[in-house]
Structure 1
Amino acid sequence: MATDPILWIKDDICGLGPFRSDLVETYWRWEQDPALLVGYGRQSPESLEARTEGMAHQLRGGNIRFTVYDVSGTEPVPVGVATLLPDHQVRTAEYVVMLAPEARGRGLGTAATRLVLDYAFHVVNVRMVWLKVLAPNAGGVKAYEKAGFRTAGTLREVGYWLGRVCDELIMDVLARDFIGPSAVRALVDPERE
């Protein structure tokens, strides 16, 4: 008998739950997608064995990892992974997200990013979240901007996109810039939200 996954917070189309060791092969399949390899600027795929070894380390680490779910259907379906890499001394965090090929282009990246920002600002209490994205990744840049990120700077010619050298954008969002309804506040104080 299947049980519903744990969802910490959600909106109408997306939910965030815990990183799950039983999904390692699913995560690995998404990570081997050529479009994702290009988007991350990685030059080589990883074996399932190496990914499985890395999973144990990730589950013990100090980073905050989420499984991203599509909740628009009758049952939540895992569609990606999002990670916050916090620096507690300065109360900031780096953000990384990965979506399955079949989940892209449906607004789930923006929704997941907004939920992670909500969690970062209202649970982890960071003051700023930042990310790096290759400049030619127009879909990623657009999703991050919709979620509230702004371009903060450019690292020139540090990445590769389809075999060509490219710039990498640094984007950030401050807690005070977080827009939209808060799923965390709605859980804590439903009358206020």
Structure 2
Amino acid sequence: MRTETCGLGSYRADLVETYWRWEQDPALLVGYGRQAPESLEARTEGMAHQLRGENIRFTVYDLADDQPLPVGVATLLPDHSVRTAEFVIMLAPESRGQGTGTAATRLTLDYAFHVTNLRMVWLKVLAPNAGAIRAYEKAGFRHVGPIRQAGYWLGQVCDELVMDALASEFTGPSAIASPVSASR
């Protein structure tokens, strides 16, 4: 799945060290509300489990140049019994603030609604993470409400915001449902 500048591809075991490097970025640790880095050994063990699991994971690619460049991971954590999923995204530090997060989020929602047939996708984001919130809004998420004092941002207690996107409200171009993508 792709747009002109962003694509989603397979989650790849050969990229475990790249994924791990992105996950150790201090800004990402703050954004996830996680305070402790993880060893490469632990991440490699976790990767084996993730590859066998039911979660839907994509490598996010920047397609601006001739060669696709891995720049992040987008994940859906489905609850098939109610046809919903939690959404989580991680971008490399050098890829933030360029619209890649919005494009990857939109492609993941497109997949969730048109391939996996989910009816709703939700996420949690720390309230001070304004850049992520803007990207989620642009991709189609709406605010549901706060979970008060549920997180930490730069050592300070903060709210987590819950946002959701509904299949019935997902509008605009689809990389899956359009006639162009069907002929590829």
TM-score (normalised: structure 1): 0.93
Matched, 1:44 2:45: no
Equivalent positions of 1:116-127 (< 5 A) are 116-127=108-119
**Residues 23 and 133 of structure 1, relative CA distance in 2, 3 Å threshold:** same
The DSSP-based 3-state class of the residue aligned with 2:115 is helix
Q: Which runs of 4+ in 1 moved over 6 A?
A: none
5+ long unaligned stretches in structure 2: none
The count of corresponding residues between Structure 1 and Structure 2 is: 182
Matches within 5 A, 1:19-168: 19-168=11-160
Q: CA deviation at 1:173?
A: 0.6
Write the deviation string for residues 69-128 of structure 1: whole angstroms up to 9, x where unpaired: 000111100000000001111000100000000000100000000000000000000000
Could you report, residue by residue, the CA deviation over 1:139-183 in whole angstroms, capped at 9, with x for unpaired residues?
000000000101101100010000000000000010011122100
Task: Choose which of 10, 13, 23 in structure 2 pairs with 1:18.
Answer: 10
Aligned-pair identity (%): 74
- The residue type paired with residue 42 of structure 1 is R
Residue ranges of structure 1 left out of the alignment (5+ in a row)? 1-8
- Offset at 1:188? 2.5
Q: Deviations over 1:124-143 (max 9, x none)?
A: 00000000000000000000
2:124 alignment partner AA: K
TM-score computed with the length of structure 2 as normaliser? 0.97
| SS in structure 2 at match of 1:10 | coil
